[in-house]
Amino acid sequence: MTIGSNAFWDDLAEDLKDPEFLRAYVVESVRIATIDAVVNALDDARLAAGLSKAALARTIGANPDAIRRLFTSGSVNPTLSTVAEIAAALGMRLTLEPLPTAERKQITEPLVNGEHGDTAALLGHLQAMRAPQPRRNAA
């Protein structure tokens, strides 16, 4: 996604000069991108394992509706415990990894310092993170 020059992006770039707004915007962007990536990876693993959503729910003792919502809702916020249980049922585990240096400059430094020297670059990076990623399995 490219960041155009229009009133919305100009206003957002101006708003990002406020340290509190910048931190909130970065945190929310990272949260959305991270949850989407994890949920999509789990759904891909579920499909690869040949498990229905209901079968996965039975495996972890969860309500099938909750699992269905997890994989189909546009706005989910699963608990870490639920994600860990689903991952284990699919033969996976959760791990954390350090951000590459370039991404630390775009994400970590603005969070710590409350400012970013190039708001257009920050917006571009955050929008790219939040853009839907291609899925391995479309079924």
CA distances from 133 to 37, 102, 114, 115 (A): 8, 20, 28, 28
Phi and psi based region of residue 134 (left: phi greater than 0; alpha: psi -120 to 50; beta: remaining): beta
Query: What CATH architecture does domain 7-130 belong to?
Result: Orthogonal Bundle (1.10)
Q: What is the pLDDT of residues 29-84, one digit of tens each?
A: 999 999 999 999 999 999 999 999 999 999 999 999 999 999 998 778 899 999 99
Return the residue matching tokens 């996976």.
92
The per-residue pLDDT of the chain, averaged, comes to 87
Q: What is the pLDDT of residues 8-42, one digit of tens each?
A: 888 888 898 899 999 999 999 999 999 999 999 99
49, 92 contact by CB (below 8 A): no
Boundaries of every domain in the chain: 7-130
Q: What share of the chain has pLDDT > 90, as a percent?
A: 54
Between CA 129 and CA 35 the distance in angstroms is 11
H or E element that contains 90: none
Q: What is the pLDDT of residues 126-137, one digit of tens each?
A: 888 877 766 665
* Residues 62-78 as b or e (16 or more Cβ within 10 Å = b): beeeebeebbeeeeeeb
